[in-house]
Amino acid sequence: MLGYCQGRNPESAKATVTAVRALLRFLHVAGHVPVPLTAAVPAVAGWRLASLPRGLEAAVVTRLLASCDRGTMTGRRDYAILVMLARLGLRGAEVAALELGDVDWHGGEVAVRGKGNRIERLPLPAEVGEAVAGYLTAGRPRCGAVTVFCTVRAPYRQLSPAAIRGIMAQACRRAGLGRVGAHRLRHSLATEMLRAGASLPEVGQVLRHRSQLATSVYAKVDENALRVLARPWPGGQS
């Protein structure tokens, strides 16, 4: 395990440890291994809130959005997906699960199916609404799929969270960027909100965090709040 987990991120290493322990537990219960060996698998060190949220600069987000060819069906779909990720801070799975009936055009709201099967409503910004409307009217194929976003080739079906990640990866390639995950756009929104003067509770409301602890990690990038805590450099030099 020590050799296998070298160079891997803590989340991946923890998942591997869990899988190996489950296998060893099964082997012991089934009688293939005479003694329990789960305790021999080392744990992976990982500290909550130890890292910084890795958001993208606004110029980079603009490049990602501009990389979509909105003159094509695929480009209009991908642009609408990226706009929802960047402007609403949705998770990839939430965008994939969005249904046609979840968009309230008259009320200017969108219902989001979040973690724990919770349905929460968010305002529908004009930029997002225009992108989704452009896709629905001149990009989405006529099909029986209930979700907003679907494949561009028959048989038309709902996009998977993996497909959303693939769309993000293709946008990075077109924009000349290294591959980054769709979740980075969620971090980018939170960071930009803080820079614009939003408070941590307001960021937590937009990101739909259940606990304030989940939002507290963004305190590390709240430059306006941290600036008052900085102490003068000895000697009066900055």
Catalytic-labelled residue, pool 70, 76, 208, 218: 218
Q: Tell me what the mean pLDDT of segment 144-170 comes to.
A: 93
Q: Kindly report the three-state secondary structure assignment for every residue of 120-181.
A: EEEECCHHHHHHHHHHHHHCCCCCCCCECCECCCCCCCECCHHHHHHHHHHHHHHCCCCCCC
Q: Are residues 103 and 129 in the same domain?
A: yes
Instruction: List the domain range (segments joined by +) for residue 75.
Output: 58-179
Q: Which residues pair with 113 in a beta bridge?
A: 119
* Three-state secondary-structure class, residue 18: helix
186 annotated active-site:
yes
73 and 173 belong to one structural domain: yes
Catalytic status, residue 48:
no
Residue 102 counted as domain residue: yes
3-state secondary structure at position 110 = strand
- Residue 213 counted as domain residue: no
- Is 187 labeled as catalytic in the residue annotation? no
- The answer on 68 and 41 residing in a single domain is no
pLDDT digits (tens, 9 = 90+) for 53-104: 677 888 999 999 999 999 999 999 999 999 999 999 999 999 999 999 999 9
| Residue 167 in this model has a pLDDT that exceeds 80 | yes
Q: Are residues 74 and 35 in the same domain?
A: no
167 located within any domain: yes
Please answer whether residues 152 and 74 qualify as being in contact, where contact means their C-beta atoms are separated by less than 8 angstroms: yes
Question: Which pLDDT band, with edges at 50, 70 and 90, does 149 fall under?
Answer: very high
Q: Does the annotation count 218 as an active-site position?
A: yes
Domain shared by 65 and 170, yes or no: yes
Q: Are residues 104 and 155 in the same domain?
A: yes
Residue 5 has pLDDT above 90, yes or no: no
Nearest CA to 189 among 11, 94, 60?
A: 60
Structural domain count, the chain: 2
Residue-wise pLDDT tens digits, 90-102: 999 999 999 999 9
- Give me the catalytic one of 70, 76, 87, 209: 209
Catalytic status, residue 115: yes
Spot the catalytic one: 54, 115, 118, 210.
115
How far apart CA 101 and CA 161 sit, in angstroms, is 20
174-210 pLDDT, tens per residue?
Answer: 999 988 888 889 888 988 888 888 888 888 888 888 8
Which of 91, 140, 184, 187 does the annotation list as catalytic?
91
Does the annotation count 91 as an active-site position? yes
